[in-house]
Structure 1
């Protein structure tokens, strides 16, 4: 943890994170081998000021993996108190691009669900499992005062993802 992260934790502040569980039409999940720390993860990162959570999830996925996604729903929210992180995990589908290494990921690939379960860091396995088990997704609304400026509706999956 760097000094800025320690200051946020000490002050009781949280940084917002956004992650995608990207599933293709073959039932595979997009995973990446992070450069630091070296571990297999789902794509995602921190939310920029003024950015909607689901927009950050899509942006981070494209930046880190080369795959453009359409976010379809919110699968869960994960709190990491000791690191001051509150992360939203979204379900998404690929709509363009192709897996490629990036500054943050030395390897990016589509993996079968069982392979992903084996390779993913223990931090990310529950996020994958929760997304696969979800019978639907929760709604997410972005608003300024009373005005809704963005939204993801609750959804019911069209196929069994497990």
Structure 2
């Protein structure tokens, strides 16, 4: 973005940059949700990652879920947009249906599990659990912000 001073010479204004990530809220017919235990920090989260520059959000979700869990998915709908205000990450979460594959870990995951909603609430931090739990209802897409540890209420 360029701003012009009264002399007409351009002055560059710094604009914050954001990273865009995608994640799959994969719901099984029995109501269980797909989750991974991350290799880098040991936390339970939904499978996902940074969207590549040339791919669509739906293609990114399919790629990330398959890479991290071995599960192939059909992307159904956007269920939420979540912004980490401390790191500048915007995450797009999509409800997905498993269509094939078999669970396996990867370089990014040390465990893959199908959790009940109660297990999601108990094993995940609030900022990740809400992404899976939001995908269970038809009231979305939800838009939420957090600071990396807890949700930030918006007016």
TM-score between the two structures when normalised by the length of structure 2: 0.77
Give RMSD over aligned pairs: 1.7
Structure 1: segments with no counterpart, 5+ residues:
1-9, 139-162
Structure 1 residue 114: deviation in Å? 1.3
Structure with more of its chain in helix, by fraction? 1
Task: Describe the superposition over 1:91-123 as per-residue Cα deviations: whole angstroms up to 9, x where unpaired.
Answer: 001000111111000000112221122112222
> Equivalent residue for 1:31?
35
Once the two structures are TM-superposed, the CA of residue 76 in structure 1 deviates from its matched residue by 0.8
In the alignment, what sits opposite 1:61? 65
Partner of 1:103: 107
- For 1:41-60, list aligned pairs within 5 A: 41-60=45-64
State how many pairs are aligned: 129
- 2:90 aligned residue: 86
Instruction: Could you tell me which runs of 5 or more consecutive residues in structure 2 were left unpaired when the two chains were aligned.
Output: 1-13, 143-155
Q: 1:29 & 1:38 partners in 2: Cα distance?
A: 18
Of the two, which has the highest radius of gyration? 2
Question: Which structure 1 residue ranges, 4+ long, deviate > 2 Å from structure 2?
Answer: 133-138
Q: Is the 8 A contact 2:81 2:93 kept in 1?
A: yes
Shift of 1:136: 5.8
